């Protein structure tokens, strides 16, 4: 069982945008759902710009979540000021993750929380990481496991240098095709190689991550809390 979780446990995955969960932790999510763990994905931001139309993005998100087998998913902010700049709405962002009315720590009481790892170059990811860590502070609904995932654009930037700071590896060899299928759902967001957001590059990054632990494929995660 992944992370020692068993059926009946639940995991909350917080995704800055409607694809970051699959890009950074799609294999881990697929492993968890295959083991009967309830995985819930809270996507924070969706806003209109030239490469993003909310209705299309939501349809892609729905399809990818179905492929990964998640129990439920929700997009919090669509075409609002907060969606365009979550870092300037930190109070609302922390509350959303900690105690929001839909998918939150207070409502789900999950055993584990997955959120973007520290160190991303993207300001939205930085904001969601900071808010997630604040939301997961010690409390009656604090998860016993808090992990950070890294998307391909950050991983491609510093794969080897950052590996030492991401000591937890999830063997995704058996579910990589599920992750790949989920990623292909994001037709508006995926790119051709050698772009980091291409299947070829992501496969190469996951293969490199696997080489650190003797697996064919892996995702490397940062541990922020692990209570055993």
Kind of pairing between the strands at 168-171 and 218-226: antiparallel
Kind of pairing between the strands at 112-116 and 10-15: parallel
β-partners of residue 78 are: 46
* Rounded distance between C-alpha atoms, residue 139 and residue 143, angstroms: 9
The pTM is what? 0.95
For 162-182, the pLDDT digits (tens) are 544 668 999 999 999 999 999
- Banded model confidence at residue 15, pLDDT cuts 50, 70, 90: very high
pLDDT for the residue numbered 82: 97
Q: Is 214 exposed, middle or buried (0-12, 13-18, 19+ CB in 10 A)?
A: exposed
Kind of pairing between the strands at 38-46 and 10-15: parallel
pLDDT at 25 over 70: yes
pLDDT for the residue numbered 51: 74
Domain of 144, CATH number, reads 3.40.50.10320
Q: Which residue has the tokens 């794969």?
A: 159
Which residue segment(s) compose the domain that 95 sits in? Answer: 2-226
For 40-65, the pLDDT digits (tens) are 999 999 988 877 799 999 999 999 99
Count of structural domains within the chain: 1
pLDDT at 156 over 90: no
For 89-126, the pLDDT digits (tens) are 999 999 999 999 999 999 999 999 999 999 898 999 99
């Amino acid at each position: 069982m992944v992370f020692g979780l068993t059926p009946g446990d639940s995991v909350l995955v917080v995704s800055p945008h409607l694809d970051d969960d699959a890009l950074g932790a799609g294999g881990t999510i697929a492993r968890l759902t295959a083991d009967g763990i309830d995985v819930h994905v809270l996507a924070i931001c969706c806003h209109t710009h030239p490469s993003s139309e909310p209705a299309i993005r939501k349809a892609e998100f729905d399809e990818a979540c179905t492929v990964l087998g998640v129990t439920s998913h929700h997009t919090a902010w669509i075409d609002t000021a907060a969606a365009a700049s979550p870092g300037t709405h930190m109070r609302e962002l922390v509350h959303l993750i900690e105690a929001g009315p839909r998918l939150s720590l207070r409502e789900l009481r999950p055993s584990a929380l997955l959120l973007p790892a520290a160190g991303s170059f993207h300001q939205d990811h930085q904001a969601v990481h900071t808010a997630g860590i604040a939301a997961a502070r010690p409390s009656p609904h604090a998860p016993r496991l808090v992990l950070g995932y890294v998307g391909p654009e950050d991983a491609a930037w510093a794969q080897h240098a950052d590996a030492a700071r991401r000591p937890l590896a999830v063997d995704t060899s058996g579910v990589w095709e599920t992750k790949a299928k989920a990623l292909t759902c994001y037709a508006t967001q995926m790119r051709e190689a050698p772009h980091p957001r291409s299947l070829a590059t992501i496969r190469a990054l996951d293969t490199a991550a696997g080489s650190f632990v003797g697996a064919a494929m892996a995702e490397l995660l940062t541990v922020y809390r692990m209570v055993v």
